[in-house]
């Protein structure tokens, strides 16, 4: 799997995390260690450390290693690593595409596109996942047959706040508890990780894209998905954020949007596309009118 930017250039990323995860998931001792690492109390301990002042020393080495341009962010005296991890971006550094028919990326991430076929399964890496398993709601899953599934994979170097993709209203969040496994694609060779991870999804009644499911998926060592208590929202409003760790957002749409060609072409090769929050990734089909 490779990652490309919107100009078709390959994005070179640090692969040390991938090598560690492959070792962890592919060997017996590693899988035994995972049984410990994914226990809720271990996640809680890890989260407590990341919120403590002891973790401050990790911030500067992390910035240097991942080449993070702090000119994009509001720089302050971070009290902990998690304080840094949930940092705010400066106004104007992420431009929200304002055209009403343009679909935007909800987060800085690596994006993969899938068409939702009649068997209600989506392919993530080399494994198949049922929408019914993902949502634990059979009737809701059926509504998106023939539609689009977008998977936005966030890694630790990404901005971990995410936004709404359109104007609209939101129903109550549905939280599904699970086991904390990493969302890195390498893990998918060994575990159906999206089915096992804790996740929270919202049904969004959007103004221009009909009913949209937006799901946040927690990862190993991520103790919390933080969604704001919002009922009415506008395009680009912050929906929430992830605390420490790599995480994923899944967006389900009906057959109402044409995704940009570069994203489709990259996904057809099992490659990902690097996108930024607010960036245009598709456009509403001209023949589609919102159902009443």
Residue of 55, 200, 202, 247 marked catalytic: 247
Query: Contact 115/109 with Cβ under 8 angstroms?
Result: no
Closest CA to 241 of 220, 222, 226, 224: 226
Q: What is the number of alpha carbons within 13 Å of residue 131 lying toward its C-beta?
A: 29
Q: Is 247 labeled as catalytic in the residue annotation?
A: yes
Q: Is 109 labeled as catalytic in the residue annotation?
A: no
Residue of 108, 158, 166, 211 marked catalytic: 108
The residues carrying an active-site annotation are: 108, 247
């Amino acid at each position: 799997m490779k990652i490309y930017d919107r100009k078709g250039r390959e994005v070179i990323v640090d692969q040390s995390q991938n090598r560690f995860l492959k070792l962890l998931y592919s060997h017996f001792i590693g899988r035994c260690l995972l049984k410990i690492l994914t226990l809720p109390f271990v996640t809680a301990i890890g989260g407590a450390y990341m919120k403590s002042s002891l973790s401050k020393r990790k911030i500067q080495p992390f910035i240097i290693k991942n080449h993070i341009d702090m000119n994009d962010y509001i720089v302050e005296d971070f009290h902990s690593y998690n304080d840094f991890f949930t940092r705010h971006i400066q106004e104007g550094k992420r431009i929200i595409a304002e055209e009403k028919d343009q679909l935007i990326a909800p987060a800085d991430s690596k994006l993969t596109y899938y068409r939702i076929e009649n068997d209600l399964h989506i392919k993530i890496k080399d494994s198949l996942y049922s929408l019914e398993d993902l949502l634990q709601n059979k009737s809701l899953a059926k509504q998106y047959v023939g539609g689009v599934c977008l998977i936005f994979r966030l890694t630790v170097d990404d901005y971990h706040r995410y936004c709404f993709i359109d104007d609209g209203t939101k129903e109550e969040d549905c939280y599904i508890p699970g086991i904390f496994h990493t969302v890195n694609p390498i893990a998918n060779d060994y575990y159906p990780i999206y089915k096992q991870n804790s996740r929270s999804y919202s049904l969004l009644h959007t103004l221009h894209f009909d009913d949209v499911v937006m799901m946040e998926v927690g990862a190993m060592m991520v103790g919390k998905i933080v969604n704001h208590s919002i009922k009415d929202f506008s395009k680009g409003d912050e929906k929430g954020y992830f605390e420490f760790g790599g995480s994923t957002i899944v967006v389900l749409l009906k057959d109402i949007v044409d995704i940009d060609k570069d994203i489709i072409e990259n996904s057809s090769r099992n490659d990902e596309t690097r996108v930024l929050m607010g960036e245009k990734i598709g456009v509403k089909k001209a023949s589609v009118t919102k159902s009443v």
